[in-house]
Structure 1
Amino acid sequence: MTIPNIPRIVLGSMTFGLDTTDPVASACKVHGVSAVTPFVETFTSYGHTEVDTARFYGNGDCEIVLAQLAPEITAHIKIATKVFPFKAGSHNKENLPKQFRESLAEALMHSICKQNNYVLPTVYQGSYNPIDRSVVSELLLCLKHLNMSFYAYNPISGGVLSGKYKFGVEVPEGSRYDPKTYIGKMVREMYWNKITFEAIDSLTKAATAHNLTLLEATLRWMRHHSGLTSKDAILIGSSKVEQLEETLRELEKGPLPKEMIKAFDEAWEHVKPIARSYFFAENDVLPSPKRE
């Protein structure tokens, strides 16, 4: 219990970690959330509520295991973390924000919002199309678990699934893939490569065999075969009204033939080894546009 005018009691967690935390390379002696839980329950049973951790405890694993505690436990505790200056420069303006962002990432903001009756995150917007499915194996399952909607942008893969572009052929000035523009440089880095266009060529042939355009086949795949539901959405855009109308018209059409679905699956397997992750890593930030 907390007694007025004497020091509070705080639970140190340096010995906590995951099942996989190396006890030699850290101070971890209590492995996994099932082992950590009794410590926190015992601590709170005495009326104490504060738990101390740090980014370096268990090489980051301590923060992770504390975030995995059951909601009925975390609802009654306050977890405070810190960044210890082990190395010179670790508290400079570049490193300190980076370490705090890492701690916040482990804090499971969805759980924090739920416990405090904040508005929960409800929508995640990410890139998704027939040849860019990196969200499927992990992210979409997570969003379903959190009851969040997924808004798919980039449904025609930066425009390459429109069928308008050919690898090695010069593009019109001012177009999406113009290398002199900011957007052009960005999308070229993402999609302008031999492997992607090999997949595009095979898809174009498959679409032609079924009297379809590649654009039509792509949009119908997004609407009927992507696994997205009425809770989710497909984001579309255009630079011309007639392009917008064409997109909307194709999205009204029905499911694809099985052979076309198979062609999309094979195309994804072809580009999968070079596919970008659905999230941006620390060194994978897109270039900033020039500012005058």
Structure 2
Amino acid sequence: MEFRYLGHSGLKVSAVSYGNWVTHGSQVEADQATACVRAALEAGITTFDTADVYANGAAETILGDALAGERRESLEIFTKVYFPTGPGGPNDTGLSRKHISESINASLTRLRTDHVDLYQAHRYDYETPLEETMQAFADVVRAGKALYIGVSEWTPDQLRAGHALATQLGFQLVSNQPKYNALYRIIEAEVVPTSRELGISQVVFSPIDQGILTGKYKPGQPAPEGSRATDTAGGANFIKGSLSDEVLTRVQLLAPLAEAEGLTMAQLAVAWVLQNDNVASAITGGSRPEQVHDNVVAAGKKLLPETLAGIDEALGDVVQADGSLVGKASPTSRLT
């Protein structure tokens, strides 16, 4: 396993991390989810990412149970706050002091730990003053409930404002968690340069674009049984908009490039993300232990220049690189 510093901090994280978005508590049963976490540990992964909203807390509970008995100091546990949890009351969402204070306590209980290594704003909250949010995060850090603070899907201006307040309040804003992969590169134009300037790393999700970059979805053919695209519990909703024949045809052109590098297409996709030196970790999932082991092969892999050029050529104009889309994932008003 390769380890990288998280932002301008002294914290190292595994270049390939394990996340349980969509799967744990919904698509994958608890025993199978635990087996995947054990596989991640066996493969050298020390960094685990979750969120309170995943399966309304069930994903955190499953992760906490699966990690029970492990040496806490040898792990980096990340979680997030913003989206509605609990019964969905008017204060069960957002980045208010109230919601952050209550959410960190609930997350720690579910995760069976007294602190998380990274606590992340899952989105930007347009209805709470940023000063209130950052003061609440500062208090979480001072209370020892989180060691570092990060964000997810924030714009360059939001990153600058948040970083400035964090500096004033005496804590470190070290990371941003965006979607990033060979097909989806909207952070490259402005987010990555801004983050480099501020000492913020990317901890990216969907490096294989929810399985699309594995090549298992074929143009003109039904989705394979058991794949995310067939998951009626929720997974299909996240992927259906990306399964166009044009995209899937282009993705098939990556197969010989992966073969030339001695990689599977999934490994190629994860390795591509890790070529960006602003990426501290690529969050991978998996519904089976063998998928977890497969992804780890990408750690430390240096792709040839001709491979990188070949990926660009193969994907061509199906790549989404419009920087104006950054931040669009943050609701302009709270969901409850």
- TM bracket (short chain): 0.5 to 0.7
TM, length-normalised to structure 2 = 0.47
Structure 2 contact 247–318 (Cα < 8 Å) conserved: yes
- Cross-structure match for 2:298: 251
- Give the 5 Å matches for 1:279-290: 279-280=327-328
The answer to whether structure 1 residue 155 and structure 2 residue 213 are counterparts is: no
Corresponding residue number in structure 2 for 1:112: 165
SS of equivalent to 1:244: helix
- Residue 165 of structure 2 aligns with an amino acid whose one-letter code is I
Matched, 1:216 2:267: yes
Which structure 2 segments of 5+ residues have no match?
1-95, 97-123, 131-156
Contact 1:220 1:251 in 2 (8 A): yes
CA distance 1:280–1:251, shift in 2 (3 Å) = same
- Map 1:218-237; keep pairs closer than 5 Å: 218-223=269-274, 225-228=275-278, 232-237=280-285
Measure the CA separation in 2 of the matches of 1:213 and 1:100. Answer: 41
**Is the 8 Å Cα contact of residues 177 and 202 (structure 2) preserved in structure 1?**
yes
Q: 1:180 aligns with which of 206, 221, 232?
A: 232
Larger relative contact order (CA 8 Å, sep ≥ 6): 2
Are 1:129 and 1:156, in contact at CA under 8 Å, matched by a contact in 2? yes
> Which residue matches 2:243?
192
Aligned residues: 185
Given the superposition, is the C-alpha separation of residues 254 and 120 from structure 1 closer, same or farther in structure 2, using an over 3 Å criterion? closer
The Cα shift of 1:139 comes to: 0.7
Question: Aligned match of 1:132 in 184, 207, 223?
Answer: 184
Q: Distance in 1 between matches of 2:231 and 2:288?
A: 21
The amino acid across from 1:138 in the alignment is E
Q: Are the equivalent residues in 2 in contact too, given 1:179–1:188 (CA < 8 A)?
A: no
Q: Unpaired segments of 5 or more residues in structure 1?
A: 1-96
Q: Work out the CA distance in 1 between the residues paired with 2:167 and 2:321.
A: 37
Give the Å deviation of 1:270: 1.9
Q: TM-score of the superposition, structure 1-length normalised? A: 0.53
Offset at 1:111?
1.9
| Pair 150,160 (structure 1): closer, same or farther in 2 beyond 3 Å | same
2: distance between equivalents of 1:165 and 1:284? 34
Instruction: Say whether 1:201 aligns with 2:264.
Output: no
Q: Select the structure of larger CA radius of gyration.
A: 1
The 1-side partners of 2:268 and 2:125 are apart by 44
Percent identical pairs in the alignment equals: 22
Cα drift, residue 195 of structure 1: 2.8
User: Hey, which of these two has a bigger chunk of strand by percent?
Assistant: 2
Q: Tell me the C-alpha RMSD between the 2 structures.
A: 3.5
Q: CA deviation at 1:173?
A: 4.1
